[in-house]
A = this chain, B = another copy of it.
Amino acid sequence: MPNIPVVETILNVNDQLAEKNRAIFDRAGLLALNVMASPGGGKTSVIARIIDTLRDEARIGVMDGDIVALDLEGFAAQGIPVSLINTGGNCHLDANMVHSALPTMDLDALDLLIIENVGNLICPAAFKLGSHLNVVIASVPEGSDKPYKYPAMFRGADVLLLNKMDLAAYMDFDVDYFRYGVEVLNPGVAFFPISCRTGEGLDAWHAWLRARLAEKIQARA
């Protein structure tokens, strides 16, 4: 019998651990999000809006890797299970940090696990966590050139939110230039212009997320 060469993708240690995390999430039957953005892009506001909209239809938990997680207390006060991931001041989450934090949450009691990454458009793009969806948030005041300047982050997005649309009227934001940059990197990516402040566009984004959640819950049966 001849030797048949088998080409295997050699996963690095982080990717291997990310796969373990993914298996744990799948066993629990939950949908896991990795929420990434620049500092001040709106990660916490996006998460707060998801909680407001979906809390009566889904059991939501939040893990926070932001350097100083000032916002977790607010979620906890609403009865949302929260966990602070100790990044040691690091510039991104990795699969091991998430893995270490998993025992702090009852995953079987969750439908949706939201992991808030560190505010950074560069480093988090290089580290898979095991989540099902990379939610990347850009924001209007950051400028329409961001896809061109931070390509890895935009290339890796499963869904892209363009937040702070309420400020577009007061600035020169070239939506076509932004979208062209995104399409080149990540053709057909789900895209929602939103404003967490005014609520603009949130219905469409939440409907999309609700559909992903329903697929996950259906797969349990």
Contact = CB atoms under 8 A, between A and B. Distances in A.
Interface of A: 38-41, 66-68, 70, 89, 91, 118-123, 139-143, 145-146, 148-152, 164, 166-167, 170-171, 197
A39 B70 contact: no
Contact of A170 (B70, B143, B170): B170
Given A150-B67, A167-B167, A170-B170, A91 B39 contact: no
Nearest to A87: B122
> A interface, by DSSP: helix, strand, loop or mixed?
loop
Most chain B beta-carbon contacts within 10 A, residue among A70, A150, A164? A150
Given A141-B141, A164-B141, A167-B167, A119 B67 contact: no
Contacts of A38: 38-40, 119, 142
A123 B139 CA distance: 21
B148 A91 contact: no
**Which 10 pairs, one residue from A and one from B, show the smallest C-beta to C-beta distance?**
A40-B142, A141-B141, A91-B122, A38-B39, A40-B143, A39-B121, A91-B123, A68-B149, A38-B38, A170-B170
A142 B62 CA distance: 22
A68 to B, nearest CB: 5
Contact of A40 (B91, B120, B141, B151): B141
Contacts of A67: 122, 149-151
Given A120-B120, A122-B118, A141-B139, A39 B170 contact: no
Nearest to A163: B141
A141 B121 CA distance: 16
A13 B168 CA distance: 45
A153 to B, nearest CB: 9
